[in-house]
Structures are given as structure tokens and as C-alpha cells.
Chains A and B, each alone.
Chain A
């Protein structure tokens, strides 16, 4: 009887998992099936056919849009922005966690408040500023802009985590002859690895997928990022769902790969950084 009850429980449990996983995977499934079906097929054929696989959509999607250049641009901008973001926000988080000075704490509150402001508020003045510094269609301006926009949450997470790191660690390094500045980089920063990893995932994905800013500030086709290329692909070839699906999957693949790779650190970093904050 007991075995029957337990195995029933396991069955129900497994069933629940399958249902949950299926729901989440529907969009990807649809996208995938579309991308490996020949353009002439109807939707019915696409959904029910599991025997023949047509890979031509990927090559035609790659050729007819700017995907290669776009991926390159996205990589440069995302990596650049992440490097700057981590450098700047870890330092700022440290300053806020350790120092009681009024300007640090006020800045922190301003950051928290800024998270509640809709991004749409800044688009027009931002455009004027970007034009003024001749930053339109440049890598460096986009990198700085996206780093700036992802600052608040990152600083929040770093500050929270650092509060939980005992001061003795830097103090020991200072006794050994480091300046407080070098002490941070040599001793504290390595401890922040889980947080850094979670920032890479959350903000990296957000920067990679950025459309609202990229659409205004990267207008030349050779400067397009991946979301822009995919979106213009959608508007140009809107009737050809198969090629669009292939293009979309090419666009999604990098984010999924990074997520899977960093997944371990992700949970650890979130626990420590966000929960303590």
C-alpha cells in the first residue's frame, strides 16, 4: 500500500514537472519547428511533421539579413558594457557598503529611486545628449549608455553582498601594505565572484536584448545589434515565418548558451547579493 502511495506521489510529481516544462517550452518548440520546415509548408504540416528536417532557412536567414555583423556588434557592445559595468558598480557597491559618508548614501537612494522611473522618460533628451557628444552610431557611447542604465540594480546587488563580507579581510590586506584601493581589488573582488556571475547573466541578457535604446542610437546597418537586425528582418519579410523563426533562434541561442554556462553561479550570486540586500 505504502509503495503504491509513494509511487503515485512520484507519478503526480513527475506529471506536474512535465506540464510545467512543456508550458515554458512552447514558444521555443514552435519557433524550432517553424525554422526546420520548408517555406512552402502549411502550419498543419509544420506542426505534425517530425520526419523531415529542412535546414535551408538558417542559411537564407543568415544571408538575407545582417546577422553576422549584428552578432559581432552585439558581442562588442555587451562585453564592453559588462566590463565597465562590473568595474564601476563593484567599486560603487563597495563604497556604499563600507563608507557612511552622506554623498555615498544619498547616491544609493537616488539609484534606488531611479529604478522606478520609466525608461521612456529619458529617450528624447538622451538622444539630444548622444548627438551632442557625437556618440550616435559609435560603440563607445552605446557601451557607456547601457552600462549606465544597468548600474542601479548591479550596485544594489554588490552593496548587499559586500555588507555580508567581514571587514577583517581588507583590514588584513592593508596591514600587509596595500592601499585600501588595491585591497579591494586584490582581496574583496575575488570573493564577489558569484555576484559578478549573476550580474553577467541578468544584465548581460538585458544589454544583449536591448532594443529601446539601440533602435535610436545605432542606425547604420553596419552598426546594428542583433535585436535590431531581427526586428528589421521581421518587418521586411513578415510573411515568411520560417525564415523569421530561424533568425529569431539565431538571436536567442547566445543568451541561452550563456545562461546555461553560468547557471551554477547565478543562484549562488542571487542568494547572497539580493537576499541580504
Chain B
């Protein structure tokens, strides 16, 4: 009898307190597959490990090397240029598309879906497709030029040391503009219509409405888009690998690619150190963007989140 009572109150206790453990599964997964590898990598950054055998402790030597490494500086420059161009491009295009397609009709829905579809294609496949479109021998554009008899004047810009990065920026923008656009569309739809109506009554022009109602009310969308775009662009990897492998030379080698090559090139310790630096390279712009947006007149929700 007593046993039965104990059992019941035990299960009651478990049931009532189970919710306190709700975060546990997530935490365990995160611990095993994210936190522990990260800690390991962080530790590696203080060593000169070459991939096999033991790791020798070298203190901050790897970080010192980073600041004098020309190729690292080049990789940082490529990543920063990539992000500095991609983030505005994605957001201006995305917002533009969202505004253009704002009316709720089925034609717009179809166009929005079409614009989004490239985002569900894996970046590797996207790279291969564009390789085929851009290549010199029997590529798509080459053939089209040929149909007009001008095949001699086409040059594959992926081989141009200055323009290759631009090509990658454009392809990346056009793959992910759908995602940015969808977030802005959602944001536009949540702006109360009466705000616009009262502004019309006051005689506001389209541009004034845009500047003083649309933009501020889009605050959360802008925040999300800019931050995810900064993180994504600074870490760009797959597309670069499939389009240029960092070439020609090192002109499109981004930070992720350099780290990857170092890790598999017997310089795992140094690779980890650069990855740690990369974390700060991403964190700083994100924080700056966040604080700028907080200070501006964007209407952001004042949550703790």
C-alpha cells in the first residue's frame, strides 16, 4: 500500500517538475556536437598541431602569425569586400522586390515563389550550373554570343582577377535574394494599413510614407536580414569552392576557404587560431549593426531577447 502511494507521488513529482528539464535535450545535443568540438578547436589554436601525432603548445604564436600573414590579410579583405557588397545588395534588392510584389494577387505569389526557388538549391549545385553558364568553351553565354557571331568577344569573368569576386557576389545575391525578400514581405504585411491612411490624409507623398512609416516599421525585418546576411556573407564557402576554388591565384580566397586549406594542410593549430579571429571579425560588425539600428528610429520590439 505504502509502495503504491510512494510510486504515485513520485510520478506526480516527476510530472510536475518535468518542465524544468525541457532545455536538457537541446543542451545535450549542443554540448556534444557543438560545444565540445568548439572547445577542442579553441584549445588547438594555442598549439602547432599538424593533424597527426601530438600537439605542441605554442601560446599566442599563431595569433601573432595571423597579423603578419599576408595571405590571411588577403582572405580577410576578400571576405570583408564580399560582405560589404553582398549585404546592401541583398537588402536593397530584397526590399525592392518585396515592395514591387506587395499586392496580394496570385501572379505575385507565383513570382515570389520563383524568386525564392534558387535558395533551396544547394550552393554547390548552383555553382556548377553557373560554371556551365559562364564557361568559355560551349558555355551558355558563349553559345548565345556565338549565335550572334560574336563568340570571340566573350571572356569568362571568373578568370579575371578583379572581377571574379564581383561575379560571385552577384550569383550569391541572386540565389538568396528570395529569402531576404520573403522576410521583408512578411514585415510589410504586418504594418497596419491605417498608418498609411492617416498619412495620406495628411498629404504625405509616397516617398515620405516610405521613409517615415515603412522603413521604421520594418525594423525587425531589417535587423534579422542584416545580421543573418553579415554572418552568412563573411562565412561564404560552398559557392566559392564550386565557382573558383579561391582563384585565380588567391583573388577570391575567402577566410573560410583559407582556414579549410590550412586545416587539411598540416597546420590545424594555426587554422583554429584564424577561426577564432574569424569569430571576432563576424561579431564586431554584427554588434555595430545592432547598436546602430537600436539607436535609429527603427521600431524594434523592446524585448529582452
Contact = CB atoms under 8 A, between A and B. Distances in A.
Most buried by A among B182, B304, B305: B305
Contacts of A179: 15-16, 18-19
A267 B37 contact: no
A118 B237 CA distance: 10
A15 B86 CA distance: 26
A119 B130 CA distance: 24
Nearest to A42: B138
Contacts of A94: 22
In this complex, the interface size class of chain B, counting residues with CB under 8 Å from chain A, is 35 or more
Given A27-B129, A144-B29, A179-B15, A255 B111 contact: no
Nearest to A184: B19
A270 interface: yes
A181 B220 contact: no
Contact of A43 (B139, B259, B260): B139
A248 B131 CA distance: 14
Contacts of A61: none
In this complex, the interface size class of chain A, counting residues with CB under 8 Å from chain B, is 35 or more
A182 B25 contact: no
Given A107-B27, A125-B41, A271-B189, A277 B33 contact: no
Contacts of B100: 13, 16-17, 20
Interface in A76-108: 87-89, 91-92, 94-96, 99, 103-105, 107
Nearest to B125: A248
Interface in B271-287: 272, 275, 278-279, 282-283, 286
B120 A205 contact: yes
Contact of A31 (B27, B30, B129, B183): B129
Contact of A181 (B15, B185, B275): B15
Nearest to B278: A118
A44 B32 CA distance: 53
A123 B305 contact: no
A274 B220 contact: yes
Contacts of B140: 30, 43, 47
Interface string B102-125: 000001101101111111111111
Contact of B121 (A119, A163, A252): A252
Nearest to B19: A180
A43 B99 CA distance: 37
B120 A266 contact: no
Interface in A101-128: 103-105, 107, 110-111, 113-126, 128
Interface stretch (A51-59, A62-70, A147-155): A147-155
Nearest to B119: A205
A20 B97 contact: yes
A234 B128 contact: yes
A27 B26 contact: no
Given A116-B231, A179-B16, A122 B38 contact: yes
Contact of B301 (A103, A144, A234, A276): A276
Contacts of A124: 41, 51, 263, 268
A128 B41 CA distance: 12
Given A20-B111, A126-B37, A275-B186, A148 B29 contact: yes
B292 interface: no
Contacts of B304: 105
A24 B178 contact: yes
A118 B75 CA distance: 14
Interface string A218-249: 00000000010011001000000100100010
A271 B26 contact: no
A183 to B, nearest CB: 8
Contacts of A211: 122, 124, 238
Most buried by B among A125, A241, A248, A251: A125
14 contacts: A17-B108, A24-B114, A25-B117, A27-B126, A47-B140, A94-B22, A105-B304, A117-B279, A118-B282, A120-B263, A145-B33, A155-B26, A180-B18, A255-B121
Given A92-B22, A274-B220, 15 more contacts: A17-B100, A24-B178, A34-B132, A44-B143, A92-B26, A110-B30, A120-B256, A120-B275, A121-B38, A144-B33, A159-B305, A179-B15, A181-B19, A276-B220, A277-B303
The 4 closest A-B pairs by CB, nearest first: A92-B26, A148-B33, A209-B122, A125-B40
Interface of B: 15-16, 18-20, 22-23, 25-27, 29-30, 32-38, 40-41, 44, 51, 97, 100-101, 107-108, 110-111, 113-126, 128-130, 132-133, 138-140, 142-144, 146-147, 174, 178, 182-183, 185-187, 189-190, 220-221, 224, 231, 235, 237-238, 255-256, 259-260, 263, 268, 272, 275, 278-279, 282-283, 286, 301, 303-305
